[in-house]
Structure 1
Amino acid sequence: MINTFAKFTFRSLAKHKVYAGINLVGLAVGMAGAIVLFQLVKYHLSVDSYHAHADRTYRVVVDLHLEDGSVEQERGSAYVLHETLKKEFSYVRDAAYLARKELTIRVDHQGTSRKFLKKEHLAFTNPDFFKIFDYKWISGSASAMGAPNQVVVTERYARKYFGNDNAMGKVIRANSRENLVIAGIVADYPDQTDFKQDIFVSLPTLKKIVPEYGYEDWGWIDGGRETFVTLRSPEDKAAFEAQMPAFAKKYYGADGKVFHYHLQDLPDVHFNIAYGGKIKYNTIIVLATVGILLILIACFNFINLSTAQAFKRSKEVGVRKVLGVSQAQVFWLFIQETAVLTFTAGAISLVLAWLFAPMLSQWLGLNVRIDILRDPQLLDFCAALLLFVVTLAGVYPAFVISRFNPVKAMKGLLKENNRSFFSVRKGLVVTQFSISFVLIAVSTLIILQSEFLKNKDLGMDKDLILHLNLPETETSKLTALRNELSALPEVTDLSFFRSAPSVQTSGGGTIKFENRDWEKFVARSRAADDHFVKTYGLKLVAGRVPVHSDTLSELLINRKMVRALGLKSPEAALDRRLHVGDAGKTGTIVGVLSDFNNGDLYTGIEPTIVFADQSRYRWAGVKLNHVNASTINRIGAVWQKQFPENVFEYSFYDEEIAKFYQREELATRLTTTFALLSVCLSCLGLFGLAIFAIEQRTKEIGVRKVLGASVAGITAMLSMDFLKLVLVAIVIASPVAWYFMHRWLQDFAYRIDIHWGIFAWAGFLAAGIALLTVGFQSVRAALVNPVKSLKSE
């Protein structure tokens, strides 16, 4: 019996090659998209979940509730916090401090000396970090991290620095200042982690390398320095947070009401953008939903084509039933056909996903792998996916076909009673194109918003500015660097500063204006020299640029600050005294700048102060009139002359700003890609239905041509039935698309309007593609000789 069924299955598929091919391609593409999205969603949901104590590990974050009613969310914490929490709370089992800092590492090995500038891959921490997070120790132990000048490296960095030699006990030098002894080697971290450090320097060493940091200051909060704790039980979280108001009052006094400490779950560290997360949890839901929608569209195509073919195969079913084949056997015969197609499509989908994975990996900066033999979760997903597709795509058409009355089927009378089935097909087509319309509209909006962010005037110049790091701020070195770089013909200006305009990290604090009390708002600080305004093209609306100074004496403020202080005009701020809280000094306001963005365009303009403080300078901004490879080489030679023990690295300011919007670039690529996939799948199904509809009306087309109908008239007649369904889909999907677009735009302080042109474009694109798909078949049918059409039945 099984062999007989198998023969019938393959003969049937061979006989209906076009429909089988359309279903095969549709299912393969839909499942490939779902597999890739599954791997992406799985990666993000599994980040740092492998740690043994992940369910009771938290990052201690603080929300600053300011008097003006605003709330600033800080992921960083004071240095003293981790030690204090462990001492005062019995249910805090382990407390770790992780401080990220850029260091130049020099490695002397086998007669050669190499230097490396380490940024994201280096951090300072204490022994508890390795109790909270799981690392496999190859050599050494975490206890060494309690002593100064100790370092732990990963296996790959041990090989990178010392080849096949044993790295234990070897010495590396940090910032040409401190020798660090390798006291431990740990296995390389897995892909699914946000802690991508390869060099762990013992925490006591931080005080030697950065002695000026406020180690005992509870108000010194830095986003690059975080506190993690492991509680003895997850149930202790509520008790911990209930004691935080009293804790804040104890250490901050009257300001305790400002500092609202709470615990952030470890998974939320990855998803919470407000605290520096990598991706929104809502984005994961959207990606999972898109994967499901792709499968549904592919299944809808299968159902549509299968039910459409049902009436062509009605005589075949009638003959089988007359010969004694039961309804159940007919049902399982058609389920078997679906299974064969689905499993074949599944194999093709794995190949397509495997081919697409490298491109996705490049987009995301992740290692997205498609390896079903080594990934049991992917294997389980593929098995469940195949079962789901066979069930959803196969059951309804098999049920419809197996219930055919054999007498009516033999006589061809079933064609008169197909209205309900056709209504189902129309509903599925409308659903498919509704999904496609929403994806097209949303992806169009994301593209437009991304372009808007890239091209928006930030209130300053970002082109042809080269950023160089400053390892030291000694006056003689900065003076020599300025003089030699300014002598280059390509250099038009140069500024030293703590952070450039419009970057995501900036200091700030409260201020006192004249004899007033502390203001209720926070002002952002920009430590920069007197060339800052000219180098970045900032616009003075009143006053002048401060005179050269190594420390705070004269100040610049922006228009936003003028309004925040309640002053009537920029001129009213000139020659007034302002005390800057985070600098601890008072200066005179000598100029007012036009507003410019301190950060990315997710946030608005903030009150800003610009003042000199040479001890804070970390960067040089070099304004160029043109740039080429030789320019960079000459600038590098000058820089290396002043800082011979350090690694020369540079970046272009406009590229730094562009990195702020990588999430939007990624969203653009993903939504555009999967929107096109959904449209292609929908049109594939529409193409098959068009073929079927035209075959059913071959004789009618012949009669119409004999009676004088034109090719254009017949094409319009055949296309209009399908175009109406697409137009209905556009009407239904427009409110849904508007809702998702409106929600997505809420994250931006600066955003475009949702105008009718987006809907018109999405509708035109969806309808146009559908019209081309159906129109192609319609034109072919209209051009057929009517004599041949009339002989077809």
Structure 2
Amino acid sequence: MITNYLKIAWRTFVKNKVYAGINLMGLAIGIAGAIIVFQLVTYHLGIDRYHHLFDRTYRVVVDLHLDDGSVEKEKGSAFILHQTLKKEFSSVENTTYLAHKEVTLAVDQRQKKERFLEKEAAGFTNSDWFEIFDYEWISGKPSSLDAPNQVVLTEKYARKYFGSENPMGKYLTIDNQENLLVAGLLKDLPEETDQRTEVFISLPTIKTLVPNYGYEDWGWIDANRETYITLHSAQDQAAFEKQMPAFAKKYYGEIGNVFWYHLQPLSEVHFDLDYGGKIKYSTIVMLATVGLLLIFIACFNFINLTTAQSLKRSKEVGVQKILGVSQRQIFWFFIQETALYTLCACVLALLIAYPTTSLLREWMNIGIPDLKVFSSTFLLFIGLLFLLVTLLAGLYPASVISNFNPLRAIKGVSLPTDRSWFSVRKGLVIAQFSISFVLIAVATVIILQLRYIREKDMGMQKDLILHVSLPNTENRQLAALAREFNQLPEVETVSFFRTPPSSQIGSGGSIKFENRDWEKFVARSKIADNHYLETYGLKLVAGRNIAPSDTLKELLVNEKLVKDLGLKSSQEALNRKLLVGDIGKTGTIVGVLSDFNNADLYSGIEPTVVFSTQRLYRHAALRLNRLQASTLQKVSKIWQSQFPENVFEHSFYDEEIARFYQREELASQLTVTFALLSIFLSCLGLFGLALFSTEQRTKEIGIRKVLGASVMSITAMLSKDFLQLVVIASVVASPVAYYFMHQWLADFAFKVDVSAWIFLLAAGFSSGIALITISFQSIKAALMNPVKSLRSE
């Protein structure tokens, strides 16, 4: 019986190649899209879940509740926190601390010292890290990280430093100060982890490298230094957090109510953007929804084309019923036929998805692993997907076709109640284009917002500014650097600073104006020399620039700070005293700056102070009048002459700012990709329906042409009904698109307006693509010779 069904299905496929090809291609592309989305979603949901203590591991984070009602969220913590928690809380099983620091590592290779600058791969920790997180050890043991001057490497970094040689027992020099013994070797990290540390330096070593760090200071909270803990039971979390207010009061005293500590489950670290996460959980939900919608669109195509063609198979069904085949048997025959289509589509989808996954990874630079076709998870997914598609695409057409009246079916006459097919079909077309409309509208807003971000005046200059790092800040070296840099014809100005005007690395604290109490708001600190304003194009609205100084004596404030202090004008702030809390020094306000964005555009303008403190400078900025091929070589040569023991590193400021919005770039690429894919699938189905419609109306078209109808009027007649559906879809989908656009823009302090023209553009694009799709077949039909159309009856 099954063999017979397969033969009939194959004959139907061969007889209707175009429709069968459209059905197969539509299902295959929809399934391929769903497979790619599945890869993305499972990758992100699987981050760090392989650790055996995953369900009771937490990062300790703190919310700073300020007097003005604002809350600052910090993922970092004081060094002393991890030791204290382990001592004072019985519910805590273990604690560990990871401190990231930019370091230069050097290795002697063939009588030549080779140096490597490590910005994110190097971290300082102890043996407890490896009790909480799972790593596969090749050589050595975790306890080596409890002793000073020890380092453990992954295979990848061992090869980077030592090539094919065994690294065990060899030495690396860190920051030209200490020699580190390679005491351990680890297997390379899996893809599904956010813990990208691959050079583990023993925690006691950091005290030698950075002796002046506030290791016992509870207020010294650093975003690059994190505390992780494990509890004896996941149920202990609520009880632990209830004890934290008293804990903060004990160690912070009167300001204990500012520090609200809580535990962030390891499962949330990847998704919580407030504490440095990689992607929103809502984005994962959106991706999963889009994958499901692609399947729906593909299935709608299949349903529409199958039911549209049902009259062609009416005689086949009528004969089967007269010969004694039951309605139930016919129903399951068509379900099996759909299953055969779906099976072929799944195979074709895998052939499409496999190379596409690699292309997306390279094009979008996103974490998406290669397809593991024989993994249990993927086999379960593809099995459920096969079942879902078969049922979605097959149930309605099978029930419609199997319900034919045999006598009317043999005569080729549809039942009166079968008019409902067309209402369902129209509904499915509207649903398809509604989905496409929403994706197009949202993609348009994302693209507009990204353009707005790139072009917005941030109150400073960002183009043609070159940043280079400073290994140290001795007066002699900085003076020599400035002198030699300024001699280059491409260089206009040079400034030394800690962070640029707009940066995602923030610093600041409370301030005290004159004899008033501490202000209720926090001011951001920009530590820089007297060339900072000229280099970045910051504008003075009152007073003058700060005088050259190695330490805080004079300072500048922005207009926002003046306003928040309650002063009536910028002039009123001049020559007044201001205590800067995070430095602990008082300076005189000598100038007021025009407001500028000192962070990304997610945040509004914040109160800001600018002052000098040479020991805290970390970078030099070179404002260029042009960029030549030899510019970087000249700058590198000058820099290397002052810091021969270090690795030259540079970046351009406009590129740094662009990296603020990598998530938005990715969202734009994904949304545009899926919007185009949904439009393609919808138009594929529309093309099939238009083809069927023109075939059904061939003789009508011939008669109209004989009676004098023009090609344009016939094309308009054939296109009108389909275009009406697209217009209805645009109207129906507009409120949904409006909601999602506002939700996405809600994160930005500065954003574009959602204007009516965006909806008109999305509707016009959808209608235009649909019109092109329909017109191709309509014009072809209208141009047909009427003699051929009317030849046979």
Which whole-Å CA distance do the structure 1 matches of 2:192 and 2:204 have between them?
29
CA contact (8 A) 1:698 1:792 kept: no
Q: Does 1:193 align with 2:193?
A: yes
Which whole-Å CA distance do the structure 2 matches of 1:736 and 1:172 have between them?
58
Where does residue 502 of structure 2 map in the other structure?
A: 502
Which whole-Å CA distance do the structure 2 matches of 1:616 and 1:212 have between them?
12
> How many angstroms does 1:215 deviate by?
1.1
Q: Please give the residue correspondences for 1:765-780 in structure 2 after superposition, counting only pairs within 5 Å.
A: 765-780=765-780
Where does residue 483 of structure 1 map in the other structure?
A: 483
CA contact (8 A) 2:43 2:367 kept: no
Where does residue 231 of structure 1 map in the other structure?
A: 231
Encode CA deviations 1:51-91: one digit per residue, 9 max, x unaligned. Answer: 00010000101111100011111111111100000010011
CA contact (8 A) 1:354 1:369 kept: no
Which whole-Å CA distance do the structure 2 matches of 1:785 and 1:128 have between them?
83
Where does residue 466 of structure 1 map in the other structure?
A: 466
* Pairwise CA RMSD: 1.2
Which whole-Å CA distance do the structure 2 matches of 1:628 and 1:792 have between them?
75
> How many angstroms does 1:98 deviate by?
0.9
Cα 1:792/1:296, change in 2 over 3 Å: farther
Where does residue 677 of structure 2 map in the other structure?
A: 677
SS of the counterpart of 1:579?
A: strand
CA contact (8 A) 2:408 2:415 kept: no
Where does residue 639 of structure 1 map in the other structure?
A: 639
Which whole-Å CA distance do the structure 2 matches of 1:578 and 1:392 have between them?
69
CA contact (8 A) 1:311 1:415 kept: no
Q: Please give the residue correspondences for 1:596-607 in structure 2 after superposition, counting only pairs within 5 Å.
A: 596-607=596-607
CA contact (8 A) 2:694 2:781 kept: yes
Q: Does 1:439 align with 2:434?
A: no
Encode CA deviations 1:257-277: one digit per residue, 9 max, x unaligned. Answer: 000000001111100001110
Which whole-Å CA distance do the structure 2 matches of 1:237 and 1:183 have between them?
36
Where does residue 15 of structure 2 map in the other structure?
A: 15
Q: Does 1:294 align with 2:294?
A: yes
Which whole-Å CA distance do the structure 2 matches of 1:291 and 1:119 have between them?
36
* Paired letter, 1:666: L
Where does residue 408 of structure 1 map in the other structure?
A: 408
Where does residue 426 of structure 1 map in the other structure?
A: 426
Where does residue 346 of structure 1 map in the other structure?
A: 346
Encode CA deviations 1:167-202: one digit per residue, 9 max, x unaligned. Answer: 122110011011111111111110010011110111
CA contact (8 A) 2:501 2:597 kept: yes
* Paired letter, 1:590: V
> How many angstroms does 1:129 deviate by?
1.0
Q: Does 1:157 align with 2:157?
A: yes
* Paired letter, 1:598: N
Cα 1:792/1:204, change in 2 over 3 Å: farther
Encode CA deviations 1:403-423: one digit per residue, 9 max, x unaligned. Answer: 211111011221654311111
Identity %: 63
Which whole-Å CA distance do the structure 1 matches of 2:596 and 2:345 have between them?
54
* Paired letter, 1:189: L
Which whole-Å CA distance do the structure 2 matches of 1:242 and 1:377 have between them?
39
Q: Please give the residue correspondences for 1:146-545 in structure 2 after superposition, counting only pairs within 5 Å.
A: 146-414=146-414, 416-545=416-545
* Paired letter, 1:661: Y
Which whole-Å CA distance do the structure 2 matches of 1:89 and 1:97 have between them?
17
Q: Does 1:650 align with 2:650?
A: yes
Which whole-Å CA distance do the structure 1 matches of 2:721 and 2:393 have between them?
24
* Paired letter, 1:470: L
Which whole-Å CA distance do the structure 1 matches of 2:212 and 2:314 have between them?
86
> How many angstroms does 1:700 deviate by?
1.7
SS of the counterpart of 1:58?
A: strand
* Paired letter, 1:443: A
> How many angstroms does 1:303 deviate by?
0.4
SS of the counterpart of 1:602?
A: coil
Cα 1:472/1:374, change in 2 over 3 Å: farther
Cα 1:732/1:367, change in 2 over 3 Å: closer
Which whole-Å CA distance do the structure 2 matches of 1:256 and 1:414 have between them?
79
634-643 or 621-630, which moves further after superposition? 621-630
Which whole-Å CA distance do the structure 2 matches of 1:80 and 1:584 have between them?
21
Where does residue 695 of structure 2 map in the other structure?
A: 695
162-171 or 280-289, which moves further after superposition? 162-171
SS of the counterpart of 2:521?
A: coil
CA contact (8 A) 1:13 1:337 kept: no
Encode CA deviations 1:479-508: one digit per residue, 9 max, x unaligned. Answer: 111111111111111000111111100210
Where does residue 559 of structure 1 map in the other structure?
A: 559
Where does residue 743 of structure 2 map in the other structure?
A: 743
Encode CA deviations 1:10-65: one digit per residue, 9 max, x unaligned. Answer: 11100011110000111111111110010000000000011000100001011111
Which whole-Å CA distance do the structure 2 matches of 1:374 and 1:168 have between them?
37
Which whole-Å CA distance do the structure 2 matches of 1:709 and 1:270 have between them?
64
> How many angstroms does 1:374 deviate by?
4.4
315-324 or 757-766, which moves further after superposition? 315-324
Give ranges in structure 2 of 5+ residues lacking alignment. Answer: none
> How many angstroms does 1:365 deviate by?
3.1
* Paired letter, 1:435: I
Count of residue pairs the alignment pairs up? 793
Which whole-Å CA distance do the structure 1 matches of 2:164 and 2:489 have between them?
47
> How many angstroms does 1:753 deviate by?
0.5
SS of the counterpart of 1:520?
A: strand
* Paired letter, 2:559: R
Which whole-Å CA distance do the structure 2 matches of 1:374 and 1:344 have between them?
18
SS of the counterpart of 1:604?
A: coil
* Paired letter, 1:399: S
Which whole-Å CA distance do the structure 1 matches of 2:375 and 2:666 have between them?
25
Which whole-Å CA distance do the structure 1 matches of 2:163 and 2:505 have between them?
37
Cα 1:175/1:370, change in 2 over 3 Å: closer
Which whole-Å CA distance do the structure 2 matches of 1:367 and 1:661 have between them?
17
Which whole-Å CA distance do the structure 1 matches of 2:465 and 2:146 have between them?
42
Which whole-Å CA distance do the structure 2 matches of 1:527 and 1:792 have between them?
88
CA contact (8 A) 2:22 2:688 kept: yes
CA contact (8 A) 1:353 1:370 kept: no
Encode CA deviations 1:222-246: one digit per residue, 9 max, x unaligned. Answer: 1111111011110110111000000
* Paired letter, 2:7: K
* Paired letter, 1:785: N
SS of the counterpart of 1:689?
A: helix
SS of the counterpart of 1:629?
A: coil
Q: Please give the residue correspondences for 1:14-163 in structure 2 after superposition, counting only pairs within 5 Å.
A: 14-163=14-163
Which whole-Å CA distance do the structure 1 matches of 2:442 and 2:373 have between them?
36
Where does residue 549 of structure 1 map in the other structure?
A: 549
> How many angstroms does 1:696 deviate by?
1.4
Where does residue 578 of structure 1 map in the other structure?
A: 578
Using the size of structure 2 for normalisation, the TM-score is 0.99
Which whole-Å CA distance do the structure 1 matches of 2:372 and 2:303 have between them?
28
Encode CA deviations 1:692-728: one digit per residue, 9 max, x unaligned. Answer: 1111112222222222222111111111111111111
Which whole-Å CA distance do the structure 2 matches of 1:358 and 1:483 have between them?
48
> How many angstroms does 1:372 deviate by?
3.8
> How many angstroms does 1:368 deviate by?
2.5
Which whole-Å CA distance do the structure 2 matches of 1:389 and 1:369 have between them?
24
Q: Does 1:730 align with 2:730?
A: yes
Which whole-Å CA distance do the structure 2 matches of 1:464 and 1:391 have between them?
59
CA contact (8 A) 1:363 1:666 kept: no
Which whole-Å CA distance do the structure 1 matches of 2:202 and 2:501 have between them?
33
* Paired letter, 2:767: A
Using the size of structure 1 for normalisation, the TM-score is 0.99
Where does residue 2 of structure 1 map in the other structure?
A: 2
Encode CA deviations 1:249-291: one digit per residue, 9 max, x unaligned. Answer: 0000010000000000111110000111000000000000000
> How many angstroms does 1:649 deviate by?
1.2
* Paired letter, 1:631: T
Give ranges in structure 1 of 5+ residues lacking alignment. Answer: none
> How many angstroms does 1:566 deviate by?
0.7
